Amino acid sequence: MSRFLSSNAAALSPYIPGEQPRDRVFIKLNTNESPYPPAPGVQKAIAGEAERDFALYPDPEATALRQAFARRHSLSPDQVFVGNGSDEVLAFAYMAFFDRGDEIVFPHPSYGFYPVYAGLFGLGARAIPLAEDYSIRLADYQETKGHILIANPNAPTGMALTREEIEKLLAANPHRLVIVDEAYAAFAEDVSCLPLLERYDNLLVIGTFSKSMALAGLRLGYAFSRPEQIAALERVKYSFNPYNVNRLTQLAGVAAVEDEAYHQAIVGRIKATRSRVTQGLEAMGVRVLPSSANFIFASHPRRTGGEFAGALREKGILVRHFVGERTEDFVRVSMGTEEDMELFLKAVEEMA
């Protein structure tokens, strides 16, 4: 470790990304990427970008992308913020809305980055345990002391709150910002709280192109909110990295946003795969939480999560196991193609 390391950096517990193997070909079901390629228009849009333009900075306002995105969701462009992955957008939200020493409230288990950023920015973090059945208990979030951050559907459980439940949360906490991370909302049944923006100024919706839009490698995330909240994010961005979304990603984003039909088709396939895999596992006695995401959270009747993941790895299949009391017995399995998941089910059957 560097002898110049700041005490702040020394105290961090950094996020640990899922493995991206290079040495061996695995069926990769460990990081919730799309098993299908991006919309066909994406490649065309990128190929059309003249190489000489790479010498020039991208549009810091990402005008075309924000306009296309706003049009698609019937918002105005000043309600749209874009960033280098939604992790960055989340970091900007922490910087824009929280002061050192403030407390941020989120469920546990949930997305591992939430407490990591709290450490990085010197915030207090209150992790509220999920209920026995792994659902989020709304009653635990009434008039909280700090701003609220909820992934809906939640990760790694895949379980979703309804829009009505999110609305109750917004109404119960009018003086708190409620950030809803909708990384997986496209895979759920109409849970996005975008329609609530009209009525609630304490709502910030965060989303990503990494999962349902199949663009994890290009890094594109976004936030939707009232213009004053978006302006706060812009303030931070122009104090940190004005060119946070590169040229290729801006072009790809526009092309992706404009092909709604393609994304509906791949999301539909993934949802169909999810129900088949759930049924297949349950028939073998594996417990599967009800998922509204592109992954399932599953617990083997005779193996710990670590053992289950290890046995699958030996058969060339990567899934994710999270160390921790509530996650110990489970593995998170991203939905691959139909063929991938046939092989996955066969592997589980063989080890039963």
Ligand X SMILES: *Cc1c(COP(=O)(O)O)cnc(C)c1O
Nearer to ligand X, 148 or 183 (CB): 183
Instruction: Kindly state the smallest distance separating residue 2's Cβ from ligand X, in Å.
Output: 27
**Of 221, 280, 305, 336, which lies in the binding site for ligand X, with binding defined by CB under 6 A?**
221
Instruction: Spell out where the chain has E strands.
Output: 27-28, 80-83, 103-108, 124-129, 147-151, 178-181, 203-208, 221-224, 287-288, 295-299, 317-318, 330-334
From first CA to last CA, the distance across the chain in angstroms is 44
- Report, in Å, the least distance between residue 57 CB and ligand X: 22
Contact characters 145-184, ligand X, x per CB under 6 A: ------x---x-------------------------x-x-
Least distance (Å) between residue 83 CB and ligand X? 8
Sole binder of ligand X in the list 208, 212, 294, 327 (CB under 6 A): 208
Residues of span 68-107 touching ligand X by CB under 6 A: 85-87
- Orientation angle between helical segments 86-97 and 227-237, nearest 10 degrees: 100
* C-alpha separations of 270 from 31, 34, 44, 158, 341 in Å: 15, 9, 25, 14, 11
Query: Please, which residue, 156 or 280, has the CB nearer to ligand X?
Result: 156
Residues 6+ apart with CB under 8 A from 182: 151, 152, 191, 192, 193, 205, 206, 207
Nearest-approach distance from CB 85 to ligand X, in angstroms: 3
Closest by CA to 91, choosing from 122, 69, 121, is: 121
The answer to the question of residue 39 lying near ligand X (CB under 6 A) is no
* Nearest distance from C-beta of residue 120 to ligand X, angstroms: 15
Residues in contact with ligand X by the rule CB under 6 A: 32, 85-87, 111, 151, 155, 181, 183, 208, 210, 216, 221
